[in-house]
Every structure is written in C-alpha cells, then in structure tokens.
Structure 1
Amino acid sequence: MNAGGGRRQLFQKHPEYLEEFDAIAKDHTAGLPQNLSVRWLNLTIPQIRGKLKDHNVDVSDYHVRQIVELRGFKKRSFVKFKTFKDLKDRDAQYRKTERIVSQCLDQGIHVLSIDTKKKEMIGNFRRSSQVLCQGTPRSFDHDFQSYSEGMIVPHGIYDVGVNTVYMPIGVCY
C-alpha cells in the first residue's frame, strides 16, 4: 500500500468540528488557578455529542472521544500527592516523640499507641482478600447496609514497653 493511502481523517476534512468543540468546551472547562496546565471538562462524551449536534455537527461517540483526546483531555483520577500543611522539619516531630517515649519507658511509665480502622459491615459480603479453599466462596452481589447484621469498629491499643496488643472490636447495630 502506498504511503498516505486510505481515507483522510474526519478532522482533516472538517476542521470546523474541532472549532465547535472548542466553543462548547470554553463554557464547560474548569481548572486549577495555580496550575494552568490542569483543566477538566464537566461534560461526558454523550453530553458533548449532544451539544455538537445542537451546533449541526453529527458525529459518533468514537469521534467525540478523538476530539477530546486531540484537545489533550483524557480520563484521569486524582492522585494523593499534596500534604495539608508543609512542615519545615517534619522529622523533628518524630525525633521528639521518640525521645519522650524513651524517657517514659526509662521511668516505667506505660506508652500506648492507639489506632482505629474504618467500620466494616458484618455479613456475607465480598472482601478484597483471598482465601485458600476448595470450591468458590459466595457472597451477596451488592454490599447494601440494609443486608448488614451490624458494623464492627476494629481498634487496637499497643503497649510499647511490654510489646503487648489489646484489640477490642466494637459492634454497633
């Protein structure tokens, strides 16, 4: 096959489709004032297609996705990256805590580390872990709280000095 053969791309024939998209996106784009390279649309592909149709541009969802991609948009998720507060010497907090813990332990004072985890529904629900078994474990197809037999609230207390854990599990109905 010769180079350049085949059908011309839709947007080479109709560059006005991109211009129509730009006009629509202008009113439906948001972003971060502190970083102009981060922008997002508040429209879905079918909504964009409907708005293009209102501007006499009748294209498929496939072509709308191509337009969106050509304009630099793609599906992304937020990434946990930023801290709430930037501390000058965060490590100093840990060193201070370690020093206080050592002093308390030297004086025979108990040091407890207390932690709690998220609430979990009690019942036959799918869990993300795996288990070795013969056959397939079965659970409800939905995790509705109305099917729950209550909630557990796991929390732990760790005595640093004697290396002992106490783990009560609270239950609420």
Structure 2
Amino acid sequence: MASVKDIRLKYQRLSRVMNERSRRIWAATEARAIGWGGVSRVARATGMARNTIAAGLRELKRRGRAHQWERVRRPGGGRKRLTEQQPQLIDKLEALVEPTVRGDPQSALRWTTLSVRRLEGALQQAGMRVSYRTVANLLKKLDYTLQGQYQRSEGQVDTQDRDAQFRYINDQAIAELRARRPVISVDTKKKELVGHYKNGGREWRPKGDPIEVLMHDFPDPEVPQAVPYGVYDIGANKGWVHVGRSADTAEFAVQSIRQWWRYLGRPRYPKARRLLICADSGGSNGYRCHLWKRELQHLATEENLTITVCHFPPGTSKWNQIEHR
C-alpha cells in the first residue's frame, strides 16, 4: 500500500502535465486502489479537498460518458469566491469580531469569543450568504486564532473610568514611541525553585537515561528561590529578564530597571532624557509602594532622567503588555 510520502512524490511529478480534471481522476484512482481510508490519505498527500476526490470517484463510476472527460474549465472558470461576490463580507465580519485589545493596543494578537455558527447567523441576518465553514476560513486569513478559556473576569469592580484610563496610557505610549523615546512594560514573573526539581517538557537523551529529579517539590530552606523580573521594550520589541535571589521588593524592581537601562536602554536610546514605565498596580511596583517611588527617584537622579509611571487599574494585570510576551 502506497504511503503518504509516495503519493505526494508521485503527485508532484505528474501534476505539471495534468489539468484540473485529470488531477481529480488520478487522485480518485489512487484512493480507490488504496481502499478504506484512501480518500483521506490522498487528500493529505496532495492537499486536495476530500470533496474533490469524492467527485472524481463519482466520475469513475459513470460508464459510457468518457467523452465528457475532454471538457476542462478554462483558467479562472468556475464559481467565484464569496468574497468576490459579496465585497462587504470581510468588512461585516471584522465589525462583528473586532476585539477590545488587551495589553498594549498595538498588539498583533487578535482573537474572538464568538463561535463561527453565531457569526454565521449574524452575517446571514445582515444579508450575507455564508456558511460557518467559510467564516472559519475567513477568520484564519484575517489572523484570528482559536483560543481556550483564560482568567479574565476581575469581579465586582467599578469599571466606569477604566476606558478613559487605558486611552490615556495608550496616548502616552504612542506619543513617546513617536518621539523615539523608550517605553517599557515591567512585571515580576513566576518565582522558580532552584535545584533538581521537576519541570514540564521533554528533551532528547539516550534511551533509558532520563534526568532524575526530586520526588517532591518542597523548597530547600538552604537554597533561595529565583525571582525573575521582566522588562519589555515595547518600541524595540525586545525583552530583558533580571533574575535575583532576594524577595520581590521595590529595591529589586528598580535595580532590574537600572540594569536594563545601563546595558540596553541607554545604548539603544542615547539621546533619551525621558522614560515611560507601564506597570500593574500591585506588588513591588505598585502605586501605593513608597519605596518604589523613592528608588525610582534615585534612578532618575543618577541617570538624569524624567521617569513617568503609568499604572493599570487594579485587577487588570493581564492587560499589561509584558504578560503577552
């Protein structure tokens, strides 16, 4: 029985001399020769749709009508795409699924929480002829992704002024980026145990020789935890992680920013005299932490910088740009 690789190689050699109909008939012949599962195997090898191969099988069953095999559609013939028949389809679909961008509004990641069947119904109500399969294909072409659930609800918190606050942060970031000044997003990442502890994932090793780790993940009091503090340069799309062994303190947070500025920020922005920091409102860089403010003032004095901090509203830490990098 021919493998997918063999069928693909054969198809690549023959497709140059075959037209649309002969490709369909050849694919159907291969599928019939394989037997059960042949349509799926040929479709996987050639990239043809299963419906196309099924149509070829139906043509093979028709006897006495071989003269019709000479008829081939001219290039560009056949049914036009729905997007050509209905030019407004893409615009109407994007209007339905355009999300509120989480994190920085310049994020390239897009997603929708609407199912393709609900979108199909909404588009049909708007006068569009479309199926849910077409909706799914269009979403993929528009760079939308199918994603699972994630923690998003912030509970019973007043959201009246959040939109204005996010618009203000967005305007500040865009203005600084246009002026070619640094804009960074900061946050403390998950603390990690140091030692022979189990981590998710696999790696290539000799057979029967796995890496042995501790059975339990109880922290060793003699070994400190690793505290990663991330600094993401939004304009340069570059990240920096400063790992410490102390607690997640405001001094450690500012020291991480200081190290980023001296090693990456200042060489990258030699003429900059201003720095915009986007952070969530809790933890070592929280808006209530006086030590955070004092240490930032020390950094501003040392480096002759004007530092501006924009805090995201409480309960919206996942909207911070660094959370998506």
TM-score (norm 1): 0.45
Query: Which one has the bigger helix percentage?
Result: 2
Query: Which one has the bigger strand percentage?
Result: 1
